[in-house]
Amino acid sequence: MLSSFHPTKKSLIKSAIVLLDTHPSSEITSEQVLELSGISKGSLYHHFDDFSELMEYALVYMFSRYVDQSIEAFHQLLIVCKSPQDFLSGVKEITRATQSPAMRNMRTVRINAIAQAITNQRMRTLMSAEQGRLTDSFTDLFREAQEKGWGSKQIDPRAAAVLVQSYTIGRVIDDFTPEPIDMDRWFQVVDLVLERILCAQVA
């Protein structure tokens, strides 16, 4: 996790993430990151082998920081909910947030980062560890929901963890077609999967 890094390293990654919000990664220079963070060139090369490595961290952590927000929202949901009905409607709400139009840019960044990691072993190792942590977190949350009687006990928690992440990122196949699908009809499918498959049956 980002929070476990040295403050200087963290600050460099965060500055690169800020720039990634408005620039394609190929256009971001080390000068821009140094200026924004106020950190010296020497420090950058103390914490990273090269500038590319810093950008790899930024691409990986930009995404996982976003997913961590969903994980935190699920965690809060498990604390505040009183009934399976509460839980189901809370999960539907989080799903809408993670698939909002703003998420479209995040999907693009993520897919581009995965594509880059296919041929870049250093980045792949970094991404693999982060992906493992995210899937583990979702798995634990689902198991906790099962224990409270809100998550379906028929489902393997890790399969559930991969499922929700899969349809969230996999929607990217609809991002470059001439006629994208209707969002309300998309949520109708997702809601039914949540109601009938992942969550405990609500009478």
CA dihedral 131→137→143→145, nearest 10 degrees, is -120
- Position 163 contacts other proteins (CB under 8 A): yes
Contact call for residues 39 and 28 (beta carbons, < 8 A): no
3-state secondary structure (DSSP) of residue 151:
strand
How many angstroms separate the CA atoms of 142 and 185, rounded? 25
- Position 117 contacts other proteins (CB under 8 A): yes
Q: How far is CA 203 from CA 28, 83, 84, 137, in A?
A: 53, 12, 10, 29
- Closest to other proteins by CB, 40 or 125: 125
Neighbours of 130 (CB within 10 A): 20
Site string for other proteins, 76-115 (x = CB under 8 A): --------------------------------x--xx-xx
Q: C-beta of 34: minimal distance to other proteins in Å?
A: 26
Interface with other proteins (CB under 8 A), residue total: 51
- Position 196 contacts other proteins (CB under 8 A): yes
Q: Could you tell me where the DSSP H helices lie in 21-120? A: 30-37, 41-47, 51-80, 84-98, 101-119
- Position 27 contacts other proteins (CB under 8 A): no
Among 128, 147, 148, 149, binds other proteins (CB under 8 A): 128
Contacting residues toward other proteins, per CB under 8 A: 24, 108, 111-112, 114-115, 117-119, 124, 127-129, 131-132, 134-135, 154-156, 158-160, 162-163, 165-179, 181-182, 185-186, 188-190, 192-193, 196-197
